[in-house]
Amino acid sequence: MCGIVGYLGKRNATPIIIEGLKRLEYRGYDSSGIAIIPDKEIKVYKESGRITELERVLPTPKESSSNIGIAHTRWATHGEPSKKNAHPHLSHNGKIAVVHNGIIENYVALRKQLVKEGYEIVSDTDSEILAHLIEYFYKKDGDITIAVQNALKLVEGTFGIAVINQDNPKQIVAARRGSPLILGIGDDEFFVTSDVGATIIHTKQVIYLHDNEIATIDRDGYEIITLMNNKVEAIISEVDWDISAVEKGDYDSFMIKEIFEQPISVENAFRGRLSEKLSTTRLGGLNIPNSELRKVKKIQIVACGTSWHAGLIGKHLIEKLARIPVEVEYASEYRYRNPIIEEDTLVFVISQSGETADTLAALREAQAKGAKVLGITNTVGSTIARESDGGSYIHCGSEIGVASTKAFTSQVTVLTLLAILLGRMHHTSPTDGLRYIKELYNIPDKIKKILDQNDKIEAIAETIKDSTNALYLGRGVNYPVALEGALKLKEISYIHAEGYPAAEMKHGPIALIDESMPVIAIALKDSIYDKIISNLEEVRARNGRIITIATENDDRVKEFSENVIYIPDTESIFQPLLSVIPMQLLAYHVAKKRGLDVDKPRNLAKSVTVE
C-alpha cells in the first residue's frame, strides 16, 4: 500500500521524486524518505509523518543534487510509524538502499539467518531484511541485478522494490510480485513508481511490470528478466489520463472534486455501451459470447470495502432483472473457506485499483477451481485486468481521495449495465429494457441536481458534526447504500456509524436510539416505501433525530424528519446512483467541520496491496 518513486536521468532527481511522493501520499502517509547519490555516496533522509516533514530535513538543493534517487511514503505493516522504520533502508555496509512495498512473510527466518551472518538489524520492519540480503549476495559476485534476483528467490510474500547501489550510481533495479510497479519511459530519463499518477506530468509511456519480473535501468535503457533469468520483451503502454486528473484544480480536496465529477464519471461508465435498437447494453470486454452468458446459472461477486457494497447492489439488480442467484463474498474470506464453485458459475471480482491483494488472491482461487473470472476495475494494466478472463473497465479516471466516491458510482453503473444485459437475455422485456436505457441517459443530470444542494447538506452536517454515533437505514437496493454511507462517515470523520436494513432496527439497534442519535434514512418512493415509513415512525417514537433522503415532492416525510434531502425520482434500479450522493456530501462536510483531512484519513491508504 506504500508509494514508491524512483528517478534516473539528467535532471536533479530530488525535486522530481518529492513531487512524485506527494502525488502518491494517498497510498500511505505514516512516514517517508529518500535515498540519493549526490557525490559517490548514498545519502538517506527520512522522517515520520507527512512528506512535508521530510522536506524540512532535506539539505539545500545544491547539496541534494543527484541524477538518481529512490523514495517511499509508508503505510505501516511491520513496525510502528517512526523515523527508524521509514524507508529507504540501507544495507549493513551502507552501499545499497532499498524501498519496498509488500510483506515478507518469512522475514523472521531470514532475519535470524542474517543475524548469524553478522548483520545488524536496526528497524522493526520486514523490509530492512531485503537490503541486507541483497548485500549478502552482491558480495559474492558483484552484480546488483543478480544479487536482487538471488535475494528475491528466498523471499516468501509480496514485494514491489527499487534498489540503488553506490558502486554504480547510474543504475536502478526494480522488481515486483503481488505489488504494483511501473517503469516510466521519458526523454533520456526513467521513472519507477507504484502508480502512474506519480509520473504522469513527465511521461505517459509506461511498462507495467508483471509478477516475478526484474527491471535493470541505466542511462542507456532497460532490460527486464524473470526471477528464473528468462528475458522479457516489454510492452510499452500509453496512459490516457490528462494531468488535470491528478490535480485538485479549484477544489480544496480531491474528495470533493471527485464527488462533483460524478455526473461525468457515471456517463463515462455507460458511454458507448447502450443499444436503444436492441433495448440492451454492451460490455464487449467480458470476452464471453452471449450464448455462453445465457447458460450462467449462478454468479459470485467478490470484493472488499466500498467495492463489496457495490457488489451488494449488483446482486439486487441482477436477481431482480435476470433472476440469476448471486452471492456476494468478502475477498478477504473467500479463499480461506474453500468456496463452492459449481458448473455454469461466473465469478466477478471488483477492485478500483486492480491490485487489491485479497481480491487478487480470490481471483486466483476461483480460477484454480475452474471458474471463469471477470474483473471490474478502473486501472488499465493492473494485475486483475491482466489475470482475469475478461471484464469491464469503469472509466472513472484517477481517484486520489482515499475514501472512494466516484469509483463506487462507476462500479454500480457497470453492474447496472450487466444486470440489464443479463435481464434482456432472460426476463426483461424490450419495453422495460428501452425504458431503463432512456432513464440511464438522465442520471448524470439528476446527480447534478443533487450536487446543487451542497450548501443545504453542509448546513445539515453542522447539526450532527459533534455526534459520537450515527445510524444509517435503508431497505432493498438502498440497504447497501446505507452501508456505504455509514462507511464514508466512519472513514473520514471518525464518528462510529452503522448501516442497517431498516426493518432489522427493531431487532437490536433500536436500543441505541435517543434524542442525541442521528438517523440517516433512505425513504424513496418505491414498492416498499410504506414499510420504511413505518420503520422511521418507530425511530420518531423514541426521539431519534431523523435526516431523510426522500423523493422530490414527498411531503409526508417532513412530519417526522429533522431535515430532508430531496433527490429526483428515477427507476428503482437507478436509485443507488442518486441516494449515495447526499451520503458522500454529508460525510465530507462533517469531517471538514471537525477539522480533519478528508483525503488522508488516519490509518487508511488508497490501494490495499497487502493482506
Active-site pick, 2, 304, 372, 592:
2
Q: Is 547 helix (H, G, I), strand (E, B) or coil?
A: strand
Alpha-carbon distances, residue 519 vs 145, 539, 559 (angstroms): 58, 8, 15
Residue 112 CB neighbour total at 10 angstroms: 11
Grid cell of 555 as nine digits: 411531503
The reply to whether 62 belongs to the active site is no
Q: DSSP letter for 121, please.
A: P
SS3 content of the chain, % helix, strand, coil (to 5): 40, 25, 35
Four-residue CA torsion sign, 182, 156, 74, 77: positive
Go through the chain and tell me how many residues it has: 611
Q: Is 207 helix (H, G, I), strand (E, B) or coil?
A: strand
484517477: which residue's cell? 398
The CB-side HSE value for 380 (13 A sphere, CA atoms) comes to 16
Alpha-carbon distances, residue 379 vs 176, 239, 269, 522, 545 (angstroms): 17, 10, 13, 32, 41
Calpha distance 168→478 (Å, rounded):
59
The reply to whether 606 belongs to the active site is yes
ω into residue 568 within 30 of 0, thus cis? no
Residues 92 and 114 sit within 8 Å (Cβ to Cβ): no
Residue 439 CB neighbour total at 10 angstroms: 14
Active-site pick, 43, 257, 488, 606:
606
Give which of 127, 378, 152 is closest to 258, Cα–Cα: 378
Grid cell of 144 as nine digits: 546488483
Calpha distance 222→349 (Å, rounded):
33
Calpha distance 152→147 (Å, rounded):
9
Report, as residue numbers or ranges, the catalytic residues.
2, 606
